């Protein structure tokens, strides 16, 4: 029996995954499944750099704009919906092509979820209060004591994941990392190919800075102003650009400074993404050259697919 093929195209923000994915999808008869925790939100098109209308006409995309920005969306829901889409694509004799840079969504799709530990609103509220009053560094020290392996993986500024890890420990008495080892992922019936895009750091940062400039030209300021009029979920409010532009709207600094801060945070995020993905030895890395076209990148990935 032939294995069902599933492809992943991952990498840091701004590297050019979306455009390359459209070209690749045509070559491998695929439909694209977004693997981005922010692109699931409606009305957040510019700030999350969603595939353009033209790109979506060239290749069908899934899990874009599926929930309101006020709604919480989590990894478990993502995995259920993504795998349901995979089943539909297999029936159509289409190949699922996951594209994005959210490491957690990528990881749980391939490797599965650990046994469910329900949320505890009281514990969670207490931890968030502690983070606000004492700072994230105190939470990080607590996490390092009870689960050193988790603290090594979680960035000190990633309050959401730190709190979840501490919450799980407080509820179960077990480190979240020990529970994660019990995960069940995609079975042997699937042939999974994972490709990662990367480039020289200076070129990546140049691409990121240029993308932020394009976002401003496409109406980023107006989009964020509209979003801030509604109540954003905790997840949606973490989109890079929301906090930075709110500072501008509040008169704390100039629009130029807001743009610089967005570029800076985007570069930091790219570093965190690469740190996450580089730990996975299954990834076949494709080094993107300066001025290389999406079609050229897709062509090189396709050659690797045939090996």
Q: Provide the β-strand partners of residue 191.
A: 5
The pLDDT tens digits of the residues spanning 81-114 come to 999 999 999 999 999 999 999 999 999 999 987 6
Which of 1-15, 32-46, 141-155, 256-270 shows the lowest per-residue confidence on average (mean pLDDT)?
Answer: 141-155
23, pLDDT greater than 70: yes
Q: Are residues 154 and 166 in the same domain?
A: yes
132, pLDDT greater than 90: no
Q: Are residues 17 and 75 in the same domain?
A: yes
Q: What is the number of structural domains in the chain?
A: 2
Measured CA to CA, the distance from residue 58 to residue 81 in angstroms comes to: 23
Q: What are the phi and psi torsion angles at 154 (to 5°)?
A: -95, 130
pTM above 0.85, yes or no: no
Q: Are residues 61 and 194 in the same domain?
A: yes
Closest CA to 96 of 185, 186, 48, 28: 28
Q: Which residues make Cβ contacts (< 8 Å) with residue 221, sequence separation at least 6? A: 245, 255
Q: Do residues 200 and 11 make contact, with C-beta atoms less than 8 angstroms apart?
A: no
Which of 24-33, 79-88, 158-167, 251-260 shows the lowest per-residue confidence on average (mean pLDDT)?
Answer: 158-167
Q: Are residues 219 and 290 in the same domain?
A: yes
Q: Are residues 156 and 20 in the same domain?
A: no
Q: Are residues 29 and 58 in the same domain?
A: yes
Percent of the chain beyond pLDDT 70?
A: 98
Q: Are residues 212 and 137 in the same domain?
A: no
- Is residue 188 classed as helix, strand or coil in its secondary structure? coil
Q: Are residues 202 and 290 in the same domain?
A: yes
Residue 213 pLDDT: 98
Q: Do residues 190 and 277 make contact, with C-beta atoms less than 8 angstroms apart?
A: no
Instruction: Pick the last residue of a domain from 139, 155, 180.
Output: 180
Q: Provide the β-strand partners of residue 32.
A: 61, 97
Sheet (strand 284-287) strand order: 61-62, 30-34, 95-99, 4-10, 190-198, 284-287
Residue 281 pLDDT: 94
- Average pLDDT, integer, range 125-144: 87
Q: Are residues 157 and 213 in the same domain?
A: no
Instruction: Pick the last residue of a domain from 144, 165, 180.
Output: 180
Q: Are residues 193 and 217 in the same domain?
A: yes
The pLDDT tens digits of the residues spanning 169-212 come to 888 888 888 877 766 788 778 999 999 999 999 999 999 999 99
Instruction: List the CATH number of the domain containing 133.
Output: 1.10.20.140
305, pLDDT greater than 90: no
How far, in Å, are 14, 64, 207, 276 from residue 56 at the CA level? 18, 10, 22, 28
First vs last C-alpha separation in the chain = 20
- Residue 235: pLDDT band (50, 70, 90) is very high
- Residue 282: pLDDT band (50, 70, 90) is very high
Q: Are residues 140 and 288 in the same domain?
A: no
- Average pLDDT, integer, range 273-282: 94
Q: Are residues 106 and 144 in the same domain?
A: no
Q: Which residues make Cβ contacts (< 8 Å) with residue 153, sequence separation at least 6? A: 177
- Average pLDDT, integer, range 23-49: 97
Residue 187 pLDDT: 74
Residue 1 pLDDT: 56
32: containing domain: 4-113+183-305
Instruction: Pick the last residue of a domain from 165, 180, 195.
Output: 180
- Average pLDDT, integer, range 144-154: 87
Residue 115 pLDDT: 65
How confident is the prediction for the chain on average, in pLDDT?
A: 92
Instruction: List the CATH number of the domain containing 193.
Output: 3.40.50.300
């Amino acid at each position: 029996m032939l294995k069902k093929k599933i492809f992943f195209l991952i990498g840091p923000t701004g590297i050019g995954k979306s455009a390359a994915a459209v070209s690749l999808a045509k070559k491998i008869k695929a439909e694209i499944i977004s693997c981005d925790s922010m692109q699931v939100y409606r009305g957040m098109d510019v700030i999350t750099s969603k595939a353009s209308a033209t790109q979506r006409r060239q290749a069908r995309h899934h899990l874009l704009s599926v929930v309101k920005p006020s709604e919480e969306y989590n990894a478990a829901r993502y995995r259920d919906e993504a795998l349901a889409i995979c089943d539909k694509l297999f029936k159509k004799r289409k190949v699922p092509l996951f594209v994005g840079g959210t490491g957690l969504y990528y990881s749980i799709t391939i490797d599965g979820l650990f046994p469910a530990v329900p949320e505890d609103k009281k514990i969670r509220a207490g931890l968030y209060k502690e983070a606000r009053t004492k700072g994230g560094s105190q939470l990080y020290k607590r996490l390092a004591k009870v689960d050193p392996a988790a603290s090594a993986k979680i960035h000190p500024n990633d309050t959401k994941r730190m709190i979840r890890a501490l919450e799980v420990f407080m509820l179960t008495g077990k480190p979240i990392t020990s529970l994660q080892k019990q995960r069940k992922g995609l079975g042997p019936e699937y042939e999974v190919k994972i490709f990662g895009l990367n480039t020289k750091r200076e070129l990546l940062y140049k691409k990121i800075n240029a993308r932020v400039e394009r976002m401003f030209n496409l109406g980023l300021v107006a989009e964020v102003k509209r979003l801030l009029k509604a109540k954003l979920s905790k997840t949606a409010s973490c989109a890079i650009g929301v906090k930075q532009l709110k500072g501008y709207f509040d008169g704390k600094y100039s629009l130029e400074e807001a743009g610089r801060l967005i570029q800076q945070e985007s570069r930091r995020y790219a570093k965190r993404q690469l740190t996450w993905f580089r730990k996975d030895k299954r990834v076949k890395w494709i080094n993107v050259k300066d001025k290389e076209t999406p079609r050229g990148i897709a062509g090189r990935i396709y050659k690797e697919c045939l090996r």
